[in-house]
Structure 1
Amino acid sequence: MTKTMRHSTTQIALHWTVSVLVVGQYLFNEPIAQAWNAAADGLPVSFNPLILAHVAGGVLILALVAWRLVLKSQRAAPPPPDNEPALLRMAAQVAHWSLYGLLAAMSMSGMAAWLGGVEAAATAHGVLKVPLIALIALHLLAVIFHHLILKNPILKRMV
């Protein structure tokens, strides 16, 4: 593996594609939540393209995260900035792996719930939304901190 100063074009595209898909999953989740509740109450669930989009989006997120992890194993991430404290380096590693794990867990629990009717998976899917939002917010705040306070090129690596 070679060290570079920025992520590859494919890694950048995957990052932003997953970001947009995740935002869409949160913005347009109401139809699938209503359908789940209706099905749980024994009511019929009619076709809604937003439900299909939510399910397909979750499957696509899982596939793209897997692709991103394969690329990560083949191409090293850029080295941390020189002015990044060791504690922040460790926190970044934990946060990134946690994001990957939560994205995968959200996708898999959603599929198990919707496609398999697994109630525990639906519960987990609902619970995992909160830490995922928290990690995304932390990620955004870290980028702002690096850019404005530490004045290092973290942001430039992903645009």
Structure 2
Amino acid sequence: MSAPKGYTRTQIALHWVVFLLVALQFLFHNNIVDAWGSYLRDGTFEPSALVFSHVIGGILILLLVIWRMAIKVKRGAPELPENEPPMLKLAANLTHIGLYLLLLLTALSGAVAWFGSVEAAAQVHGVLRALVLILVLLHIAGAFYQQLVLKSDVMTRMGKPEA
């Protein structure tokens, strides 16, 4: 199977929806942290839309990342630019694999912590959260490096569907 030239509308939409959900999870994470702390102290928490949206957001991220991975396995992904140095290709591939893995593990650890009341899972979730942030920032930096320094079409592929 030859690699596609670009991404489908579905792949592009999934990329940006997951990005938005992850950004919202980071932006509004204090509410879930407060609820978790309250739950650990006295077994209760103050229900709020932001607490439940964090839980629902995590479940959505899990499902959407699985969907995105299934499409990638079935359809493939565009090749990285031919003239890109091998070390950059390796870094890009490892960053993508790491993002998929961390997003899955972060969502799963959050679900185990929340629904199973497992404190160790909550601690793992916090560590994974920091690693997700690092890889997201690396991914964004790599995209801008591709666009501004290498002058490749990598960034435009995630904004314009394959014809």
Q: TM-score, normalised by structure 2?
A: 0.95
Write out per-residue CA displacement over residues 33-88 of structure 1, whole angstroms, 9 at most, x where no aligned residue: 10100111115312101111000000000000000010001111111112211111
Moved over 4 A (4+): none
**Count of aligned positions:** 159
Match of 2:122 in 1: 122
Residue 138 of structure 1 pairs with residue 138 of structure 2: yes
Match of 1:156 in 2: 156
Deviates more, 1:76-85 or 1:47-56: 76-85
Q: How far apart, in 2, do the equivalents of 1:18 and 1:50 lie?
A: 18
Match of 2:40 in 1: 40
Q: How far apart, in 1, do the equivalents of 2:125 and 2:21 lie?
A: 16
Q: 1:112 Cα shift?
A: 0.3
Paired residue type of 1:106:
T
Q: Percent identity?
A: 42
Structure 1 residue ranges without an equivalent (≥5): none
Residue 53 of structure 1 pairs with residue 50 of structure 2: no
RMSD: 0.9
Match of 1:96 in 2: 96
Residue 7 of structure 1 pairs with residue 7 of structure 2: yes
Deviates more, 1:103-112 or 1:1-10: 1-10
Q: How far apart, in 2, do the equivalents of 1:107 and 1:34 lie?
A: 18
CA contact (8 A) 1:83 1:150 kept: no
Q: How far apart, in 2, do the equivalents of 1:110 and 1:36 lie?
A: 11
Q: How far apart, in 1, do the equivalents of 2:25 and 2:130 lie?
A: 13
